[in-house]
Chains A and B, each alone.
Chain A
Amino acid sequence: MERSDVLVVGGGIIGCATAYYLAKAGAKVTVLEASENIGDGGSSRNGGGVRQSGRDPRELPLVMYGIKNLWPHLSEELSVDCEYHQDGNLRLGKNEKHRQILQGLTDRAVAVGLDVRMIDGDEVRKINPYLSDEVTVASWCPTDGHANPLTTTLGYYKSARALGVHFITAEPVNAIKKVRGKIVGVTTPDGDFEADTVVLAAGYASRPLAAGVGIDLPMQKRLIEALVTEAQPHMFDQMLGTAEADFYGHQTKHGSFVFGGSSGLEPFNTDDGRPVTSSLTAPCICRGIMKYFPDLADAKIVRTWAGWIDPSADGVPILGTVEENPGLILACGFTGHGFGIAPAVGDQLAKLITTGKTDVDLTPLHYSRFHAKI
């Protein structure tokens, strides 16, 4: 039996970042990760967006806080190259339907104070001359960007570990333990781990664990895929997405392009319990990319992979305390856009746990928001 101040269930970027900021505040922290590898889920499988535009107003204040206060100096803080670029995000459209989607996203973000605006095709090509004439409209957010999810996740792990956080991998949590109405720790095949606070940051795997203490989190598990090209000469530094979500991604510091996307058939893929790629998806992503970037037609694809996202019922994360279970903190349901927001989540959850207060109001992301429609 091991005793800590805080137990973090899940060694992805959310768990690692939370553990890091908690340890910095002086807490004794243990992180339990079911996989053999740190950051083996979405943390290592995403497109690297550090994006505000396109997000729901309920999570915008949190990600804006992180982009203002944490991302600019994260590489120095973690002693790794997070490859953070703040060169803007273009969300691209080709027709009237796309324009309407982009306009709606833009209006809602402007209302929360984000600098994002609609631009036409010519202005798009001034920002990124490689885009085809098919692009007629885009939303442009100059303070968005991208980073390297692999080095950022492992950087949080490395720095948390150096501060004394105890990480144990291949240690799946069976259940959260509750005694006389209060959370007291978790059980694993190796025994019990005790703590006053348990942070549940296990992606979709959070759902059965929360259910064990009577909380049903409306989430699903959905497969998406990504691919990477061989290194190309430097072309552009913006983060890219599309109104239709055909693909999203960026050119990395290494020179390769990382693009994520889907075939649309994912819910019906053969499921052997692992996130495996389908032979249909990468070709589909390539066709999408080439319509926007004809110059990339000769770039070679070197690798493809798949990962699960954990969409919540309303598409924003489930964050914060659980009144029925004092001591339990939820951090899941990031719905495929958990990477860019992770530093802010870790920072604010650590403040919540150590001081009871946060700089950003987390109430709109509280799990109690889910209700039937009538």
Chain B
Amino acid sequence: MANDRSRDIGPFTEQPDDDMIICRCEEVTKGEIRRAVHEGMYTIPEIRRYLRCGMGLCQGQTCAKLVKGIVARELKVSPAELTPATSRAPMRPMEMHILAKEEEDGTI
């Protein structure tokens, strides 16, 4: 069953480039992502919530595809089978005092 979290995905084996930083905003490495999959984080939202990759200033715009590829390879599935993490507003980081002005002229 595809969503059986006890299914065998084989053992975790170290790789020479595990120290490579994949999420630059939050400095998450390839090895950390691969290890998290073996700890049971089988979906992109779970990886994101567990390790913070894709939660930094760029909100995953740089690393989302790389993370997906690494997780898919570890699970031995096609990247197309993995649902991406939800994109969230705002599109770009915005100062609180600017975002707060949405109602400046008194109307919605």
Q: Which of A131-139, A275-283, A350-358 contacts B (4 or more CB under 8 A)?
A: A275-283
Could you say which of A36, A277, A279 contacts B43, with CB atoms under 8 Å apart? A36
**Complex partner residue of A300 from B55, B95, B100, CB under 8 angstroms:** B95
CA gap between A113 and B36 in the complex, in Å: 42
Question: Contacts A229-B96, A230-B93; is A170 near B3 (CB within 8 Å)?
Answer: yes
Please give me the residue from chain B that is nearest to A161 by CB atom.
B40
- Is B80 at the interface (CB under 8 A from chain A)? no
Q: Which residues of B in the span 4-53 have a Cβ within 8 Å of any Cβ on A?
A: 4-6, 39-43, 45-46, 49-50, 52
Tell me the smallest distance from the CB of A164 to a CB of chain B, in Å: 8
CA distance A289 to B41 in the complex (A): 34
Does A168 contact B103, Cβ atoms closer than 8 Å?
A: no
The answer to the question of A167 belonging to the interface, with a C-beta cut-off of 8 Å to chain B, is: yes
Q: How many residues of B contact A (CB 8 A)?
A: 36
Q: Are A157 and B88 in contact (CB under 8 A)?
A: no
Scoring B52, B83, B96, B100 by chain A CB atoms within 10 A of each residue's CB, the highest score goes to B96
A302 lies within 8 A of chain B by Cβ: yes
> Given known contacts A167-B5, A301-B94, A303-B88, is B57 in contact with A230 (CB within 8 Å)?
yes
* A-to-B contact residues, CB < 8 Å: 36-40, 44, 150-151, 153-154, 157-158, 161-162, 166-171, 190, 229-230, 254, 277, 279-280, 282-283, 286-287, 289-290, 296-305
**How far is A151 from B36 in the complex, measured between Cα atoms in Å?**
12
* Contact status B89-A277, CB under 8 Å: yes
Give the distance in Å from the alpha carbon of A306 to the alpha carbon of B50 in the complex. Answer: 19
Q: Can you list 14 A-B pairs with a CB-CB distance of less than 8 A?
A: A36-B83, A162-B40, A166-B6, A167-B4, A168-B4, A168-B5, A170-B2, A282-B99, A283-B101, A286-B97, A290-B96, A296-B96, A301-B95, A302-B57
Give Cα A281–Cα B46 distance, bound, in whole angstroms.
26
Apart from the given pairs A36-B83, A169-B43, A290-B96, 12 other A-B contacts in the complex at a CB distance below 8 Å: A36-B43, A38-B46, A150-B49, A158-B39, A168-B3, A171-B3, A280-B103, A296-B96, A300-B95, A301-B95, A302-B57, A303-B89
What CA separation (Å) do A233 and B37 show in the bound complex? 32
Q: Is the interface of A mostly helix, strand, loop or mixed?
A: mixed
Are B49 and A154 interface neighbours, CB within 8 A? yes
The residues of B that contact A280 with a CB separation of less than 8 Å are 102-103, 108
Q: Roughly how many angstroms separate A150 CA and B3 CA in the complex, as a whole number? A: 20
Report the separation of the CA atoms of residues A287 and B101 in the bound assembly, to the nearest whole angstrom.
Answer: 8
**B50–A150 touching, CB < 8 Å:** yes
Q: CA of A300 to CA of B6 in the docked complex: distance in angstroms?
A: 40
Kindly list chain A residues whose C-beta atoms are within 8 Å of the C-beta of B88: 277, 303-305
For the complex, what is the distance from the CA of A230 to the CA of B58, rounded to whole Å? 10
Q: Is the pair B100, A168 in contact by a Cβ cutoff of 8 Å?
A: no
B90 touches A304 (CB 8 A): yes
